[in-house]
Amino acid sequence: MRGDAVRSIVAFAVILSLMVFSIALSTASGAWLISMDAPLVKVSSSAAASSPPPDPAPAPPPVEQTAAKAPDPPAAEPPATEPPVKDPPQNPTVSDDYPSDKPIKNTNPSAKKIAFLTFDDGPSEEVTPIILDVLREHKVKGTFFVVGFNAERHPEVLQRIAAEGHRIGNHSYSHRIKSIYRDSNVLLDEIQSCDNAIASATGLHPRIFRAPGGSRPFLKPALAAKVTEAGYQYFDWNVCPGDAVVNGLTADQMTRITLQQASTKSYIIVLLHDSYTMQQTAKALPRIIKGLQEQGFTFQVIEPDTAPIHF
Ligand SMILES: [Zn+2]
């Protein structure tokens, strides 16, 4: 009997130990599972099994507080100031002001600052009419150095240029810089063919010429002499907005370059273009006109006796 009693006690003790161990193990595993989702909150195993999800753990510091300490995010709009633009190369021998020892003809004597707006390489159906509209709106006359080939294709545009009081100039027939300066015969043929195209559309024979690419380096002294002998005066420029650069400038950039270059001068010939890709030129033109007027310039057209600018 005594042995049975001892075995019973031992058996009871074992069962009791197993029960205690089981309860302890259950509680521990429940706490572990909870801790995987919400490590900062201790809940009972029963609560984890049957209750709605516990309240979320304390939130980390608000994102706004963290962001407030960080630098301002980049603005969605581009910065107001444009990146610097290198001015197109300009011939350094062109003086800033028109030399005072040469007479300035065909100008308003009361005007102290004179600007000539010149438009090369047209006429085009796409851009020339827009430019003419802008000039009419601002009551400004310009000078169009046209390419004969384009004049033949768009005589009606050329007629409008003349009818609205602008001047037309000769800019060669083909504008092929690699061939037109080969010798004086080729160059004079180019000029004559352009004159024929201008005359057939308008009846005019303008005696003002702009050398494609500019007189330097292309119009060598011997060629320049032939052009002069043929009765033409040729005109370069001293303000170059760069509207014909390969990658293109924006209207804002052209405007800024024009006004910057003009700001130190009192007699300017501005080189612009009205060929069919020059929409940005047309877009810039109202601001160029307004800006030059604010600098005190008045506008004139180029005539054969206008004091030239030569490179
Ligand atoms: Zn040209």
The two tokens of residue 111 are 């005007």
Distance 29 CA to ligand 1 centre (A): 87
Q: What is this structure's pTM?
A: 0.67
DSSP 241-264: --TT-TT---HHHHHHHHHHHHTT
Residue from 308, 306, 241, 297 nearest 271 by CA: 241
- DSSP state, residue 80: S
User: What is the tens place of the pLDDT at every residue in 40-83?
Assistant: 323 333 333 333 333 333 333 333 233 333 333 333 333 333 33
Rounded CA separation 193/196 (Å): 5
The answer to whether 292 touches 124, Cβ cutoff 8 Å, is no
Distance 19 CA to ligand 1 centre (A): 103
The average pLDDT across 93-97 equals: 34
- In the predicted structure, residue 283 carries a pLDDT above the cut 50: yes
- DSSP state, residue 44: -
Q: Which residues are known to be catalytic?
A: 120, 273
Q: What CA–CA distances, in Å, run from 40 to 31, 47, 55, 58, 192?
A: 11, 16, 11, 8, 94
User: What is the tens place of the pLDDT at every residue in 201-241?
Assistant: 999 999 999 999 999 999 999 999 999 999 999 999 999 99
Distance 80 CA to ligand 1 centre (A): 33
Residue with tokens 């161990």: 21
By percentage, how much of the chain surpasses pLDDT 90?
A: 62
Q: Which of the given ranges, 57-71, 160-174, 238-252, has the highest pLDDT on average?
A: 160-174
**CA 238, 244, 247, 249 torsion-angle sign:** positive
- What is the bridge-based pairing of β-strands 267-273 and 208-209? unpaired
Residue 299's DSSP bridge partners are 115
Walk me through the domains of the chain, giving residue ranges and CATH numbers: 2-51 (no CATH), 113-300 (3.20.20.370)
Distance 274 CA to ligand 1 centre (A): 10
Residue type, 39: P
Distance 212 CA to ligand 1 centre (A): 5
